[in-house]
């Protein structure tokens, strides 16, 4: 790849806390990636539209609100509907351990919860996009 990895960092729903998403965005930029941050209160449709418009390599969705079992499947379905299911979706935030398996089966590539190493996330993305 001759250009930087392009990552969309998205905050869906009514979740008003974005410190973690902003910290992640800065860490990914420091790792040489190009980051598009959607801002707060994005719908799944807005996230998918932005990902396609910005021609991103990865979508990182940060959810703290507990709506992960609704939001992730909706994003994945919209990507499929728009013929963009080749864009991997990663999750982060507060996602209970018991929900991770189902979300991964649904198509979420990886889930990084609170306390995950920013270096580990960056390395994962670089290996995923290679």
Which pLDDT does position 1 carry in this prediction?
62
What pLDDT is recorded for position 13? 84
In a domain, 22, yes or no: yes
With a CB cutoff of 8 Å and minimum separation 6, the contacts of 101 are none
Of 23, 9, 24, nearest to 122 (Cα)?
24
CATH number at residue 45: 3.40.50.280
How many structural domains comprise the chain?
1
pLDDT tens digits along 9-21: 999 988 788 889 9
In a domain, 64, yes or no: yes
Q: Is 26 helix (H, G, I), strand (E, B) or coil?
A: helix
The 10 Å CB-count burial string (b at 16+, else e) for 26-45 is: ebbeebebebbbbeeebebe
User: What pLDDT is stored for residue 103 in this prediction?
Assistant: 97
Work out the burial of residue 105: count CB atoms within 10 Å of its CB; fewer than 13 is exposed, 13-18 middle, 19 or more buried. exposed
Range of the domain at 71: 6-129
Which residues make Cβ contacts (< 8 Å) with residue 55, sequence separation at least 6?
Answer: 6
The pTM of the full predicted model, rounded to 2 decimals, is 0.96
Residues in the chain, pLDDT under 70? 1
Residue 1 lies in a domain: no
């Amino acid at each position: 790849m001759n250009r930087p990895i392009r990552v969309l960092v998205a905050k869906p729903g009514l979740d008003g806390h974005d410190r973690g998403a902003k910290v992640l965005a800065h860490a990914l930029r420091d790792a040489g990636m190009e980051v598009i941050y959607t801002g707060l209160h994005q719908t799944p449709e807005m996230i998918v539209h932005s990902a396609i418009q910005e021609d991103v390599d990865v979508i990182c969705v940060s959810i703290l609100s507990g709506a992960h079992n609704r939001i992730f499947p909706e994003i994945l379905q919209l990507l499929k509907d728009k013929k963009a299911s080749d864009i991997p979706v990663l999750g982060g935030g507060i996602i209970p351990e018991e929900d991770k398996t189902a979300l991964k089966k649904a198509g979420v590539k990886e889930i990084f919860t609170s306390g995950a190493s920013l270096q580990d996330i960056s390395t994962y993305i670089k290996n995923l996009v290679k």
